[in-house]
Chains A and B, each alone.
Chain A
Amino acid sequence: EVQLVESGGGLVQPGRSLRLSCAASGFTFHGYAMHWVRQTPGKGLEWVSSINWNNGNIDYADSVKGRFTISRDDAKNSLYLQMDSLRPEDTALYYCAKDIGGIATVGNYFDYWGQGTLVTVSS
């Protein structure tokens, strides 16, 4: 059974940093691209970042580019999101999601999602 379990969320002040983790199990982690998607009541679902199976391709939404860093440790079956210079508008529930393929390419989609970890940016 595929499982994705996010952790690391919490309350943080604007300008500070937070690192999210996603522990994967039930599939061959190193063979798949992975994504972070966030959800807010106001803006709905927003794709944040993607990383391909071999770390060869990494992409970010414009809203987080230069502040967030996605990475993966295939030996630990884990995905990470380092979030720096956090802003109140980064407040959201952050999901990790599995791609159907090794590369986040045209036509692909997310076949499994975790339950999410809540990030609140507030003073």
Chain B
Amino acid sequence: DIQMTQSPSSLSASVGDRVTITCRASQSITSFLNWYQQKPGKAPILLIYAASNLQSGVPSRFSGRGSGTDFTLTISSLQPEDFATYYCQQSYSSPLYTFGQGTKLEIK
């Protein structure tokens, strides 16, 4: 199975900060990497697909980069509604999808 490792596991930041979350795959997944946001008590929401494509309706302050094994999700200027948990997901070995363990983004 392809393992996905996110770092950091948690992060404290302030409104207006630029934040980057990293996701590493245990083997190359080319660009088949997706990012989801989840708020407490809510379902995950798709943010980024295929490493760098912004899902319709997602603010442009979110961006994704990477290929192979190393990927990043960047929020250019944190807004209050961005405090949530973020998950990466590989779809290279579809349908045997695997997710990262999550990165909890908290208010400093």
Contact = CB atoms under 8 A, between A and B. Distances in A.
A46 B32 contact: no
A36 B34 CA distance: 17
A95, A104, A107, A111: residue with the most chain B Cβ atoms closer than 10 Å: A107
Contacts, number: 62
Contact of A113 (B32, B44, B50): B44
Interface residues of B, number: 25
In which size bucket is the chain A interface?
20 to 34
Interface in B29-47: 32, 34, 36, 42-46
A100, A105, A109: residue with the most chain B Cβ atoms closer than 10 Å: A109
A27 interface: no
B97 A47 contact: yes
A106 B43 contact: no
B59 interface: no
Interface in B15-65: 32, 34, 36, 42-46, 49-50, 55
25 contacts: A35-B97, A44-B99, A45-B87, A45-B99, A47-B95, A47-B98, A47-B99, A59-B96, A61-B96, A95-B43, A104-B94, A105-B95, A107-B91, A107-B92, A109-B34, A109-B49, A109-B89, A110-B34, A110-B36, A110-B44, A110-B89, A112-B46, A114-B43, A115-B42, A116-B43
Contact of B94 (A61, A108, A112, A114): A108
A113 B43 contact: yes
Interface in B67-104: 87, 89, 91-102
B99 A106 contact: no
Contacts of A114: 43
A112 B92 CA distance: 19
